[in-house]
Amino acid sequence: MASVACSLVLGRGFSCANTLTRPPIACLRLSRAVSCKMRNRHLSSQQKRQQFKRAPTEQLSLNMNAQSHDNIGCEAEEASSAGASHSSQITIPSNDAESDSNSETDVAVSSFEETNMVIENNDEQEHPSIRLEDLIAMIRNAEKTRVYALEELDKILSEKEALQAEINNLEMKLAETDARIKVAAQEKINVELLENQLKKLKTEISSRNSIEEGKHGTLDDESPLVLELNDLRKENALLKDDIQMLKLKVADVSKTEERLPSLEKRHSLLEASLMELQSQLSNAQDNVSRLASLRYECKALSDKVENLQALFNDASIVMDQPSLGLQQYHELQKKVDKIEALVTEATVSKFPSENFQHYDETLREKIELSEKRLWESDQEIHSQIQLFQESVREFHDSLERLKEESKKRSQELSLENLPQEFWSRLLLIIDGWLLEKKISVNDAKMLREMTWKKDARIRDAYLASRSKSEHEKLATFLKLTYSRTSPGMHIIHIAAEMAPVAKVGGLGDVISGLGKALQRKGHMVEIVLPKYDCMQYDLIADMKALDVVVESYFDGRLFSNKIWVGTIEGLPVYFIEPHHPAKFFWRGKYYGEHDDFKRFSFFSRAAVELLYQAGKKPDIIHCHDWQTAFVAPLYWDIYAAKGFNSARICFTCHNFEYQGTAPASELVSCGLDVHQLNRPDRMQDHSAQDKVNAVKGAIVFSNIVTTVSPTYAQEVRTIEGGRGLHETLKSHSKKFVGILNGIDTDAWNPSTDNYISVQYSADDLQGKAENKDAIRKRLKLSRSEGSQPLVGCITRLVPQKGVHLIRHAIYCALELGGQFVLLGSSPVPHIQREFEDIANHFQSHSHIRLLLKYDDALSHLIYAASDMFIIPSMFEPCGLTQMIAMRYGSVPIVRKTGGLNDSVFDVDDNTIPEQYQNGFTFVAPDEQGLSSAMERAFQHYIRSPESWQQLVQKDMRLDFSWDSSASQYEELYERSVARARAAARV
């Protein structure tokens, strides 16, 4: 702002120069003005502020008038220094640049021009040539200019005030900045000091490090020493924390200690006052006893008074004898006076006794109060002492703990480095026990293994039982062998199906059901499956491809397999995706391909290769059906020789109808030695010498062979049932057993099933009726008769299932007044066509519906809705549908074969105990047999609804869970593993 004001003045001067031509003076003034301005610029801001302060407004206004707005400070300076007398002269700078800077001042400029003219005219007054009018006009002009100049002055003054405020503000800020600079300077000094210290420390550390490195060499960050050092540091830090805590506690304790003297002082004070009170009490008690003696005296006196009274009476009798009497009277009078005095004394002494009593009471109160206070303070002291003792105890405990820990650590450190002598001594002890027959060979082997491995558990057992008796020592060591066998077996299932993601029939149910049951029993269960394109991927949790490729042999070369992992209903599953040009599992279906033998022999080889490459050491490898039957010969022929031999092989044939036969040459593809295996006692099929049989190979090469029901296990030993394998089964009968399958009672549970319309249980069957109504509505069947029996059938439509009898059952149900719903599909084209015809025939029938497809959700609804369930199988290895049907309260009508014979018992068979009777059975595989069973069932349903309901409830409560079946498998596995171990020891 100051510079603006200055240029304003200069601008005016410039205009003036243009109007009045006074070249020599102008030149002279110009140089002065410029130099003045320059000097002004060189003034420090401080000086400028002082200048402004020094020049009050009025003075400035006067100067303005006197000097006609010239450069105020500098003009005065110039004037004084030059001693010039032209103080009223106006400086006329001729600086174009400066004049251009302020066009707003044009009016003012003209006023100045006029002023200059006035001055010049004044000079000319001395000359007669000047006219009066001109002079007046000039004076008027000058007056105008003056008024304008005054206005300008006001403006400038207000500007100046604003400037002053600004300056004050700046001054304050400056002072603030100065202070900050000082602080910053101080801080800078501090920082510099700290930096110096840091530098010193750094140089010290680096010199130390170099010394350390010199001592130990450079340590890698990952080196065990550094890691251990880090661990120790962490531990150290933790210990420091503990010590810090302890210090705090100790501080608390010492605070308590500090309080203790004051409390003790209070205690002694209270004790002193108690003593005082006690002495007062004893005084009072003295008084009381004195009072008692006074009372006694008083009594004696009153007795005496009475005696005297008696004497007085006697005396009054002898009153007649005056002299004697008078004398006696005086004497008596004296005595009476004396007595009276005594009595008075006694009465007087009575008052203090009352006072004493009062005093006594007050004293007692006081004593009680002080006793109370004493008790309270005692309590407080006691609690404080307790607190103190507790903290001391805690302190000691922590100290002990720390000591223990450090002792244990040092012990552990020393135990880790136990001399070889220790372990040798242990081995000798174990051998001694074995020779003395105190422990078995197995136990000795286990204990020796632990000793060789320097297992900490056997070391601890030895140290713990050192001072104990031989018997106790043995018990401690044998415990170790039990605990080593308890965690359960490692069981790996290799299969082609697994419910619910890849299920065609009962095999899928068995893999997940048995797997889960074994897992529940504490075994480590894993599953290996092919990665089919048509699996239900949404039911696999956390599925991901592993960053690994497993190469497996096939057709004379190695093929890569991508390995996927995921969990299915809590079971860990490996999926193998072969990178084979034939795209083995990219066919949109599970089975029924022309190259099934190749597909599954490839899968079997890849599965064993995966286990081998993964370094697994399973106890049991369990393969199922012909698709994975190759695993058994592959394992023993190829992999056991490579050292992959920890496992026993269990093979379960779920259906002997499917044996996986193929030209012997095809066996070569998976790497098996066809010349060795294509023998009648190995893999050669009974039908032709150039054919191999995968199931036969598994029977021969497996350690355990099972099938899915005891009856079926008997049936397949016969010529009819064995389908060529009866001889093989007979020769391997020792390892062959039939175990009835269970069902997954979590997946098949009407009280939790989300697929069905209404959930229900044996205790509340209302929901079952509602499900029946719902399916009738859904399938557009007649709903007019609620009690009309509904017969269900869910099956693969294959000859085994008695398709002709199923067809017959449809008509039979209709004849008997019932309804029939079939859910099934057939891999056999002519059967599929046949059933399609029947389905079309009954397309809009009000009592029959055929649904020729695979539909898991719909199957749940049919189980829940149906009253009866038909299974007229020609043979049935186990059959799950009869068990599922019973769980949903649908009474089974079955042919007595295989697993159906082991799970369904006829209601009308008196030879069977009533509690086992649960359905309707027939033996003959013909329409008559089926018809009669259906008729009996319908009659029972219609004639005895109550008995039927009881039957339904009984069926629903039967236990078909995997628990008992899984236990049987568990026993088989364990026996096999134990045999193998025993054999290995021999």
Judged by CB, which is closer to ligand ADP: 608, or 893? 893
**Closest by Cα among 580, 526, 581, 590 to 550:** 580
Cis peptide before 23 (omega within 30 of 0): no
H helices within 20-44, ranges in order?
Answer: 23-42
CB of 737 to ligand ADP, least distance (A): 18
Q: How far is the CB of 515 from ligand ADP (least distance, A)?
A: 16
In whole angstroms, how close is the CB of 428 to ligand ADP at the nearest point?
Answer: 58
- Contact segment (CB under 6 A) with ligand ADP among 215-223, 245-253, 522-530, 818-826 equals 818-826
Q: Return the residue of 794, 812, 868, 952 that touches ligand ADP, per CB under 6 A.
A: 794
Q: Least distance in Å: CB of 894 to ligand ADP? A: 11
Which three-class secondary structure state does DSSP give residue 523?
A: coil
Q: Quick one: how many helices (H) and strands (E) in the chain?
A: 31, 17
Tell me: does residue 657 bind ligand ADP (CB under 6 A). no
With 0-12 / 13-18 / 19 or more C-beta atoms within 10 angstroms meaning exposed / middle / buried, residue 340 is exposed
Binds ligand ADP by CB under 6 A, chosen from 64, 823, 891, 893: 823
- Could you give the C-alpha distances from 552 to 596, 601, 691, in angstroms and in order? 18, 11, 24
- Residue whose C-beta lies closest to ligand ADP: 506
For ligand ADP, the closer of residues 736 and 875 by Cβ is 875
| Minimum CB–partner distance for residue 832 and ligand ADP (Å) | 12
Q: Alpha-carbon distance 333 to 322, whole Å?
A: 15
Element (H, E) at 793: strand 790-796
Q: Which residue has the tokens 């498998």?
A: 969
- Interacting residues with ligand ADP between 851 and 890 (CB under 6 A): 854-856, 859, 878-881, 884
Using CA atoms, how far apart are residues 832 and 836, in angstroms rounded to an integer?
Answer: 6
Q: How many CB atoms lie within 10 A of CB 542?
A: 8
The H-assigned helical ranges of 616-733 are: 631-634, 674-677, 694-701, 710-715, 719-722, 726-731
Distances in Å between the Cα of 576 and the Cα atoms of 257, 560, 611, 695, 901 are 74, 10, 11, 22, 38
Longest dimension (CA), the chain: 180
Is 792 a binder of ligand ADP (CB under 6 A)? no
Q: Which is nearer to ligand ADP, 509 or 867 (CB)?
A: 509
Least distance from ligand ADP to the Cβ atom of residue 713, Å = 15
Q: Write down the least CB distance from residue 654 to ligand ADP, Å.
A: 7
CB 968 to ligand ADP: min, Å: 18
x-marked contacts with ligand ADP along 795-814 as a string, rule CB under 6 A: xx------------------
Minimum distance from residue 660 beta carbon to ligand ADP (Å): 16
Give the C-alpha separation, 578 to 603, whole Å: 8
Q: How far apart are alpha carbons 929 and 923 in whole angstroms?
A: 7
For ligand ADP, which stretch binds (CB under 6 A), given 136-144, 709-717, 769-777, 794-802? 794-802
Minimum distance, C-beta of residue 711 to ligand ADP, in the bound complex (Å): 14
For ligand ADP, the binding residues in 535-554 under the rule CB under 6 A are none
Nearest distance from C-beta of residue 863 to ligand ADP, angstroms: 8
Q: Are strands 790-796 and 868-871 parallel, antiparallel or unpaired?
A: parallel
CB 627 within 8 A of CB 595: no
Q: Write the CB contacts of 542 (distance below 8 Å, at least 6 apart in sequence).
A: 565, 566, 567
Residue 415 burial (CB count, 10 A): 15
What is the closest distance, in whole angstroms, from the C-beta atom of residue 578 to ligand ADP in the complex?
Answer: 26
Q: Choose one: 176-184, 333-341, 789-797, 829-837; the region binding ligand ADP (CB under 6 A).
A: 789-797
Contact 716, 722 (CB under 8 A): yes
Nearer to ligand ADP, 666 or 856 (CB): 856
Token pair listed for 252: 């608390």
- Nearest CB to ligand ADP, comparing residues 474 and 839: 839
Q: Does 750 bind ligand ADP (CB under 6 A)?
A: no
CB of 589 to ligand ADP, least distance (A): 14
- Single-letter residue type at 130: I
CB of 426 to ligand ADP, least distance (A): 54
Determine the interface stretch with ligand ADP among 143-151, 664-672, 755-763, 822-830 (rule: CB under 6 A): 822-830
Of the residues 824, 892, 898, 919, which one makes contact with ligand ADP according to CB under 6 A = 824
For ligand ADP, the closer of residues 693 and 882 by Cβ is: 882
Measured distance CA(187)–CA(938) in Å, rounded: 104
Residue 816: DSSP 8-state: T
CB of 788 or CB of 882, closer to ligand ADP: 882
List helix spans (H) across 453-557.
456-464, 470-485, 506-520
825 touches ligand ADP (CB under 6 A)? yes
Instruction: Single out the segment in contact with ligand ADP by CB under 6 A; choices: 375-383, 432-440, 576-584, 848-856.
Output: 848-856
**Which tokens hold the place of 856?**
């898991």
Q: Name the one range near ligand ADP by CB under 6 A: 34-42, 446-454, 849-857, 934-942.
A: 849-857
Nearer to ligand ADP, 353 or 825 (CB): 825
Residues in binding contact with ligand ADP, number by CB under 6 A: 18
Amino acid symbol at 163: L
Contact call for residues 363 and 280 (beta carbons, < 8 A): yes
**Residue 505 engages ligand ADP in binding (rule: CB under 6 A):** yes
Positions touching ligand ADP (CB under 6 A) are 505-506, 509, 794-796, 823-825, 854-856, 859, 878-881, 884
